[in-house]
A and B are shown apart, each in its own frame.
Chain A
């Protein structure tokens, strides 16, 4: 190891079906400035090839490495080892809550994605939405093109930001108490799809889904999903917005509109 490496102690929850669970301590040398995911990689490479964890992009785009680090749901690929070690020694690493554990830090996300596709419309789409961005050519002297950014671009950024990491499901107390709840990610997806679609039938179907069993009314306004989302999707805000739309529809129906 170089002079820039540091020793890191981790306490990892180990689990295999039928064998129960236990916390196992590891100490590894990692480079300064490294992330928790790199430390798990180092454990896997140098100490224990049986350690199960999920990873892919290493830059917070895929959501695969979502886990509980020192009791808080985070993406291990962007969580600094030094910061986590300051919070708690050894760094405690556990799988996400509210999803069945396959082994060690790997959770079964099948139920998560089943909720996301419950409407046959949510998340999955046949074509990318068209952003209202116009591209105007600059004078020939410049090689760049001027992009006119619409004022409401934030809306689209939020729509497309969900990386489906499952953190919102893990932090949601309503999910913990009620497995019939569609959950924050699926409801945020319903909201996003509803705003993106121009089809009135599809829009009404999505609103009915949000209003139905397992929909927005099972949310108990903890706002943990919004507070923990690594991509600022604001699922709780989406759920409250859906509630407002449902109430508006009911109000309209009361007056025959």
Chain B
């Protein structure tokens, strides 16, 4: 265990805000918001890298598109979609409560928005399966 040393002056340690033992929705939302932010920024750079393949001509691009049909890439898409839904909808909660709206009902607001995220994710999955 390194708990005591971590409490020393350097406070910026992810092990602190990622320690969710005994925490409520808010701390989970905080941790997930940071993790999804990091993930989405990483995805943005990957996305730009992928788009750069267009500069190598149609054959390279079509070859890459064929690769993305694999289940692994579908799973990655699902993870990205979950990240986008969580980050954006939790962001709405942070903005609303941050300006004094629904402060007393922040837990209900969080749960409602997460329910909306789940519904949107299922709808996206349904549309994906219909369109193939």
Contacts and interface: CB of A to CB of B under 8 A. Distances in A.
Given A95-B4, A240-B97, A227 B24 contact: yes
A176 B17 contact: yes
A9 interface: no
Interface residues of A, number: 42
B58 to A, nearest CB: 46
Nearest to B94: A221
Contacts of B104: 237
- For B4, B19, B100, B104, the residue with the greatest tally of chain A CB atoms inside 10 Å of its CB is B4
A106 to B, nearest CB: 11
Nearest to B104: A237
Given A223-B24, A237-B103, A179 B1 contact: no
B66 interface: no
B7 A95 contact: yes
B57 interface: no
Interface in B72-131: 93-94, 97-100, 103-104, 106-107
A224 interface: yes
B4 A173 contact: no
Contact of B26 (A72, A94, A224, A241): A224
A159 to B, nearest CB: 18
A97 interface: yes
A176 B18 CA distance: 9
B17 A173 contact: yes
Question: Main SS of the interface on chain A?
Answer: mixed
A13 B1 CA distance: 9
B41 interface: no
B27 interface: yes
A8 B9 CA distance: 34
Contact of A173 (B1, B30, B93, B106): B30
Contact of B27 (A173, A178, A244): A173
A68 B70 CA distance: 47
Contact of A22 (B1, B16, B24, B94): B1
A91 to B, nearest CB: 13
B117 to A, nearest CB: 17
A222 interface: yes
Contacts of A101: 3-4, 7-8
A15 B4 contact: yes
Interface in A146-184: 171, 173-179
A114 to B, nearest CB: 13
B12 A94 contact: no
A176 B11 contact: yes
B26 A247 contact: no
Given A107-B7, A240-B100, A243-B100, A176 B106 contact: no
Given A179-B11, A221-B97, A223-B26, 5 more contacts: A98-B7, A223-B97, A223-B106, A243-B100, A247-B100
The 6 closest A-B pairs by CB, nearest first: A71-B21, A176-B16, A222-B26, A72-B22, A15-B4, A244-B100
10 contacts: A15-B3, A15-B4, A70-B22, A99-B7, A176-B11, A179-B9, A219-B98, A220-B94, A221-B29, A247-B100
